Chain A
Amino acid sequence: MLRRVRYELAGRVAFPLLNALSSWQRQLKRRGRKPRANPFGPPLDCVRKLRELMTAHYYVGRYAQGAVPVAWVTSGFPIEPLRALGFHIVYPENHSALCSAQHAAIDLLQAAEQEGFSGDLCSYARIDLGSALTGITPVGRLPRPDLLACCTNICRTVSYWYKNLASHFDVPVVMVDTPFVYGEAEPHHLSYIEEQLGELIEVAERIAGRRIDPERLERTMRAAWEGLVLWGECLQAGKAVPAPWTAIDGFFHMAPIVTLRGSEQCNSYYRMLRDELSDRVTRGIGGIKEERHRLLWDNLPIWHKLRKLSTLFAERGFNFVVATYTNAWAEAADLIDPAKPLESSAKAYTYVILNRDLEHRLASLKQLAQEYRADGAVLHSNRSCKPYSIGQVDLRSRLAQDLELRVLLLEADHSDPRLYTDEQIDNRIQAFLESFS
């Protein structure tokens, strides 16, 4: 009971106070300092709100253990039943990205490798396992899980990763297995997934110590659906010329749709962001100062080099206006029917980009390139993420042939900085940019 009160107070009282204090400190620091010259447009006002939202999420998480049930889940997990049961939800992938973006990944990667995890394993998994083993995290503390929940709609790595977490924390793990979709999903695949969602609810109810309220599940589902629609609207603002933001901004602003999906906080944030973006479109404000070329990004971002990379492109008038990765969280909206939460979840969570064949990937790349009027594409061949990177050589040729796009294949890793070679990558990027002149 006491822990529950502390958890609630952390979000409602302590965090707002701390946040007010730290934003006042930031303002003092900034006073008198000249903004550094850069090739970007004016920063989005929403950035401050985003920072608040995500910091609050991690801050409140520190007090979740013992107060509410805690689940650690994969990014593509159908979390709506968990949210409806009052779970605090932690996304290890988001946490790993944060570690990498804050340049705190190397020690954690090495900790996992010293424990015997292969360097070929996805760096999200290694960072997370390293953090679980050492307890080190830049967010202060992650709540211990009561339940681990993974879904194979993004990759198979997650099943082994979560089994390892389960034995480390000695808690149950549920896996939702989503057969790979070639063309269209078979009806028996969908019923197989729906059954597993039923089993998930049984386990989650046991841990939460209460039965799921169908109305609350439907409300959560509706909120998740609305969030996806709103996120899609934000992304579509990028179709304007100049695009009011960059897909690199999008990589940061997608955090709420991943981690807070199904909550009102998430949706009110995206309403604000959508309105700000549409206002920028009306006023002709671009994400970069001079947009001369528009690019598409494929695969996960390179979290540890985002600023450097985006500056390199923006300085020469290249703006990433669309990314398959951010788009993945908007695609599912049409498949969700809040009145049929489990049935429609089964389909929505199966039809995700990494669980679909190469034909679909190609069609979706082409459609995005055309809708967003991209004249080039950068395909990040991501050492960690095999399912996303496999087939990129063929995708590259097809995009070049069919749409006459200039395409660069960039070899790196989304969160292991040791797999990034500055000189060579700079050289390739420069050659790619020179080819536009």
Chain B
Amino acid sequence: MSTATAIGVDVGSTTFKAVICDGTGRILDHLIEPTRPQMEQQAREGIALLVERLGCDPALPISATGYGRKRIPSARQLTEITCHALGAFHLTGRPGLLVDMGGQDTKVVRFGSRGEVLDFAMNDKCAAGTGRFLEVILHRLCVPLTSVAELASKAERPVTVSSTCTVFAESEVVSLVAQGEPVEGIVFGLHRALASRVAALVAPLAVKEPLLMSGGVALNQAMVRALEHALGNRIAVLPRPQLVGALGAALAVRNSQ
């Protein structure tokens, strides 16, 4: 029998994440898969799988976060903002400013010395500034996500992509290709454009605290570097960046007990 004490679920718009933690907040097992329309069923199955793999008590307390949290009525529900702050604080042990870049939104959360949210900002109305922006345009350029960082690092200079709207940027990129601009330069330029959008969200909140990053986009080194360039500051990518929200949810269960 494991020492599992809580389950955290993060039902994002693009990916579904679940973690099982022990009493110290260590992740014992986790799950990451694309979000399905039947979120409730997905959560039930995902949780059952983790419980079975670890052989732990099926009645463990559950907390849910993410846009789909309301579809999991049996769980305690909390926003991603609160959970990301809790998760990031647990991983670093000190106050910080977290940039969480996911598929459909980007959040910036400033948290204090107890992991409490001090301030936050979100870009959730527009695809510009999110992972989706990159995905759409890289798809247009036939660049697989896995080779983005390498490609961008080969560029001699970034090609300026001025549109911040995904729809306009897509057609701008098509015409840049037609003008013979190198794909690596365009990819580099895209990251710069995206980073400057995110930097605008970070700037009003930025203080002395260390800059941290989480979310699926944090796995893209080119994006991390572009953001460091835009902010003029080093960024620490949290370990297993996609799981920070789910971890925070599991910790919230622990805190409430």
Contact = CB atoms under 8 A, between A and B. Distances in A.
B109 to A, nearest CB: 9
B79 interface: yes
A155 interface: no
Interface in B73-91: 78-82
Interface in A60-99: none
A18 interface: no
B82 A434 contact: yes
Interface in B108-131: 116-122, 124-125
A22 interface: no
Given A397-B204, A435-B117, A430 B125 contact: no
Nearest to B107: A431
Contacts of A431: 79-82, 117, 120
A342 B127 CA distance: 53
B67 interface: yes
Contacts of A411: 125
A423 interface: yes
A421 B67 contact: no
B79 A421 contact: no
A421 B117 contact: no
Given A393-B204, A423-B67, A427-B67, A434 B79 contact: yes
A422 B95 CA distance: 31
Contact of B125 (A396, A400, A424): A424
Interface in A391-433: 393, 396-397, 400, 406-407, 409, 411, 421, 423-424, 427-428, 430-431
Interface in B43-85: 67, 78-82
A400 B117 contact: no
Contacts of B119: 400, 406-407
Nearest to B120: A431
A430 B79 CA distance: 7
A406 B118 CA distance: 7
Nearest to A419: B125
A435 to B, nearest CB: 4
Given A400-B119, A411-B125, A427 B79 contact: yes
Interface residues of B, number: 16
A424 B78 CA distance: 14
A434 B204 contact: no
Contacts of B204: 393, 396-397
Given A397-B204, A424-B124, A434 B67 contact: no
B13 to A, nearest CB: 10
Nearest to B82: A434
B125 A434 contact: no
Q: Provide the main secondary structure of the chain B interface.
A: mixed
B78 A434 contact: yes
Contacts of B122: 424, 427-428
> Interface centre among B118, B119, B125, by most A CB within 10 Å?
B119
Nearest to A400: B119
Contacts of B117: 431, 434-435
Interface string A194-209: 0000000000000000
Interface string A372-397: 00000000000000000000010011
A193 to B, nearest CB: 37
Nearest to B66: A427
A393 B80 CA distance: 22
Contacts of A397: 204
Nearest to A408: B120
A313 B120 CA distance: 18
Contacts of A396: 204
A435 B86 CA distance: 11
B101 to A, nearest CB: 17
A411 to B, nearest CB: 7
Given A423-B67, A427-B67, A434 B81 contact: yes
A428 B82 CA distance: 11
A435 B67 contact: no
A424 B121 CA distance: 12
B42 to A, nearest CB: 19
A424 B81 CA distance: 12
Contacts of B82: 431, 434-435
Among A397, A421, A423, A431, the one with the most B-chain Cβ atoms within 10 Å of its Cβ is A431
Nearest to B118: A435
B209 to A, nearest CB: 14
Contacts of A409: 121
Contacts of A423: 67
A435 B125 contact: no
A428 B67 CA distance: 11
Nearest to A411: B125
A406 to B, nearest CB: 8
A434 B117 CA distance: 8
Given A393-B204, A423-B67, A430-B79, A435 B124 contact: no
A423 B67 CA distance: 8
Interface in A329-383: none
Nearest to B81: A431
A393 B119 CA distance: 13
B133 to A, nearest CB: 17
Contacts of B80: 427, 431
Nearest to B252: A434
21 contacts: A393-B204, A406-B119, A421-B125, A423-B67, A424-B122, A427-B67, A427-B79, A427-B80, A427-B122, A431-B79, A431-B80, A431-B81, A431-B82, A431-B117, A431-B120, A434-B78, A434-B81, A434-B82, A434-B117, A435-B81, A435-B118
Which A-B residue pairs are the 9 nearest by beta carbons?
A431-B81, A431-B79, A435-B117, A434-B82, A430-B79, A424-B124, A393-B204, A427-B79, A434-B79
Given A421-B125, A424-B125, A427-B67, 9 more contacts: A393-B204, A406-B119, A423-B67, A424-B124, A427-B79, A431-B82, A435-B81, A435-B116, A435-B120
